[in-house]
Amino acid sequence: MALSGSALIGCEKPSGSDAEEHAVVESGTYEGTIKKVNADEKEIYVDANGQELELYFIDETTLTKGGQPAEFGVLEQGQKVEVEIKKVGKRLDPISVTILE
């Protein structure tokens, strides 16, 4: 009961970033750091100025590194990225992801 009580007051599902409720931001371009990469679901979590963005790659998402197209597998935790996001309802679709370093 204490465990579930503590979960209710903030210590949530202990499986990483996917346990948190993520920020919903307006369409635009954001810079941030990758907190987690989920290769199975082609999904990244980006910390952009304290807001954690959960981004599921879609068919239209482009990924570039050094000006060249890159595969999803090059993404790593801690990388600085610039993401162009389109807000659809409250869903954030990444249009482009650029690895900055």
Instruction: Return the number of other C-beta atoms located less than 10 Å from residue 18's C-beta.
Output: 13
Residues that bind other proteins (CB under 8 A): 1, 3-4, 7-8, 12-13, 19-22, 24, 40-41, 54, 56, 58, 88-91
**Complex with other proteins: residue 19 or 74, whichever CB lies closer:** 19
Cβ proximity to other proteins, 5 vs 66, nearer residue = 5
Q: Which is nearer to other proteins, 7 or 100 (CB)?
A: 7
Among 98, 71, 92, residue whose Cα is nearest residue 21: 92
Asked whether the beta carbons of 95 and 56 are under 8 A apart, the reply is: no
Using only the alpha carbons of the chain, give its radius of gyration: 15
Report, in Å, the least distance between residue 68 CB and other proteins: 26
